[in-house]
Structure 1
Amino acid sequence: MDKKTTSRDGTSIAYQSTGAGPAVILVSGAMSTGATVAPLAVPLSDRFTVVSYDRRGRGESGDTAPFAVEREVEDLAALIGAVGGEASLYGISSGGALVLHAAASGLPVRRVAVYETPYAVYEDGAKQWTEYTERLTEALAQDRRGDAVELFLRLTGLAEEMIQGARQSPMWPGMEALAQSLAYDAAVLGDGRVPRPLLASVGVPVLAAAGDASPAWLREATRAIAEAAPQGTYRALEGQTHMVDPNALAPVLAEFFAG
């Protein structure tokens, strides 16, 4: 990250921009930084000014207590101001929940695209989410950062032997460094269910995309977002999963953001 802007509460937000044209801000999901979405900037940068950034509490960005979802919306407001006063937003996974909050808040946002925001569409999923957030809160309160990361990895369905392997790997300290931010992703997802009243208040076009090789519940959650947004559109990407290929996603986003 080679640039910084300051959010309303004084928190420093690190970002980088590439390309030229209307601004598009990329928002990462849980356990990730701006570097995670940066590869998507490359195929978009020939038509747009593309911004990737470290969300607060991650990477080179700062953090200021106490956390609230509104603080992350203010971070996006600062970024929008830094790139000309208007932007389109893209969020992957829980980052999608954040950009939907931002669009509903009245920020100068032209269009919003989300990829597989993991809202619960079944009762067992909602129950699992509640149990996860309760245990996550307890682990973070006791500074058991490794346990918090394990909870998240189990939530994603990662096999136990892979989780234990990750604990022994060189990447584990970096994952523990991001543990506190799991609470921020939990906050933007709220009770874990599709936030229909929030979506109903989004007054700009919304593209909700999913991979057709992803689990059915993720595709259904994505479709529910499109149906609840007044100007929502659902799009399935052939052969894609939650780990979407930037080169498969970029043309879809470019067409949508070009309007």
Structure 2
Amino acid sequence: MYTTTSNDGTTIAYDRTGDGPPVILVDGALCHRAFGPAAPLAKQLADRYTVYTYDRRGRGDSTDTPPYAVEREIEDIEALIKEAGGSAFLYGISSGAALAIEAANRGIGVTRLATYEAPYLVDETAPPEPADYRERLEANIAAGKRSDAVRLFMKLVGTPGFAVVMMRMMPVWKKLKAVAHTLPYDHEILKVGRHRRPLPADRWTSVTMPTLVMAGGKSPDWMRNAQTSLADVLPNAEYRTLEGQTHLLKPEAVAPVLKGFFTSSP
């Protein structure tokens, strides 16, 4: 494990593996270096790249500094890019994809950007988000009801009730509860695109680097609609469907695509 210090003094823990051009992987909600898809994907990419996986603030071995702001998480990525030599490829999944887009928009040294299923809601095919979701989420966290916060999030993302019941009896639930307090962070990052309206055409005008926007072929229509909409509003983006994949993306399915994209000519 390595550490770097973000602009506000927060310690960001990260791992580094492989050799080659640097790639930074940005996790989605509830995930970190020791829990989630980043570490298996890093192994798939390490034959060609120096891969950085890190604990987003408030997770794993990283510290946290309130109050939260999306800008602080962008500065965390900027600190990692400095560790990588001043520029890097960036890949984000789920809410981590939305964070990666915001980071790329700030001009912090992202030379290529890849995203997978940023969960924006862009039209009426998307399930509506309850108006009181954020309020209830923060109330549960403030009351120390982390299980309730995780359960509320699982309901929001469509996890079947029986699956949540099973998860609560498994060791994984303890890991989810440990980072439940960061769920409002992900909601804050995504709020620009959670209204079942078209994405703003003028928000990410500085994302001019080559960009790959991906969705799974087995994901619901609303998710694919969101990704095609995202590709349309980003200045230099292409869209690709990964056939056979869902939001639970398999590392071995996306790794060859990332390798091809990151090594292709401008």
Structure 2 segments unaligned to the other structure (5+ residues):
none
Give how far 1:244 is off.
1.2
Look up the equivalent residue of 2:251 and give its one-letter code. P
Q: Distance in 2 between matches of 1:107 and 1:126?
A: 34
CA separation of 1:228 and 1:40: change in aligned 2, threshold 3 A? same
Give how far 1:157 is off.
1.0
Look up the equivalent residue of 1:173 and give its one-letter code. K
Instruction: Note if contact 2:27-2:96 (Cα within 8 Å) is conserved in structure 1.
Output: yes
Instruction: Note if contact 1:199-1:225 (Cα within 8 Å) is conserved in structure 2.
Output: no
Which of 230, 250, 254 is equivalent to 1:245? 250
User: In the alignment, which residue of structure 1 is the partner of 2:229?
Assistant: 224
Q: Distance in 1 between matches of 2:187 and 2:70?
A: 10
User: In the alignment, which residue of structure 2 is the partner of 1:26?
Assistant: 25
Give how far 1:203 is off.
1.8
Bigger helix fraction: 1
Instruction: Note if contact 2:107-2:206 (Cα within 8 Å) is conserved in structure 1.
Output: no
Give how far 1:39 is off.
0.7
TM-score (norm 1): 0.94
User: In the alignment, which residue of structure 1 is the partner of 2:217?
Assistant: 212
Q: Distance in 1 between matches of 2:209 and 2:131?
A: 30
Structure 1 segments unaligned to the other structure (5+ residues):
none
Look up the equivalent residue of 2:103 and give its one-letter code. A
Q: Distance in 1 between matches of 2:118 and 2:159?
A: 18
Q: Deviations over 1:119-171 (max 9, x none)?
A: 00224747415432232122223332111101111112112222222223222
Aligned pairs (5 A) from 1:48-67: 48-67=49-68
Q: Distance in 1 between matches of 2:88 and 2:157?
A: 31
CA separation of 1:175 and 1:235: change in aligned 2, threshold 3 A? same
Q: Distance in 2 between matches of 1:129 and 1:210?
A: 24
User: In the alignment, which residue of structure 2 is the partner of 1:236?
Assistant: 241
CA RMSD of aligned residues (A): 1.6
Instruction: Note if contact 2:87-2:109 (Cα within 8 Å) is conserved in structure 1.
Output: yes
Q: Equivalent pairs: percent with the same residue? A: 49
Question: How many pairs were matched up?
Answer: 258
Instruction: Note if contact 1:27-1:34 (Cα within 8 Å) is conserved in structure 2.
Output: no
TM-score (norm 2): 0.92
Q: Distance in 2 between matches of 1:124 and 1:240?
A: 20
Q: Deviations over 1:190-240 (max 9, x none)?
A: 242535322333121111001111111111111111111010100001111
Q: Distance in 2 between matches of 1:126 and 1:10?
A: 38
Secondary structure in 1 aligned to 2:129?
helix
Q: Deviations over 1:82-116 (max 9, x none)?
A: 11110010000000000000011111110110001
Aligned pairs (5 A) from 1:193-204: 193=195, 194-204=199-209
Q: Distance in 1 between matches of 2:130 and 2:114?
A: 24
CA separation of 1:248 and 1:124: change in aligned 2, threshold 3 A? closer
1:256 and 2:261 are equivalent in the alignment: yes
User: In the alignment, which residue of structure 2 is the partner of 1:139?
Assistant: 140
Aligned pairs (5 A) from 1:101-250: 101-123=102-124, 125=126, 127-128=128-129, 130-191=131-192, 192-193=194-195, 194-250=199-255
Secondary structure in 1 aligned to 2:51?
strand
1:99 and 2:105 are equivalent in the alignment: no
Q: Distance in 2 between matches of 1:214 and 1:123?
A: 16
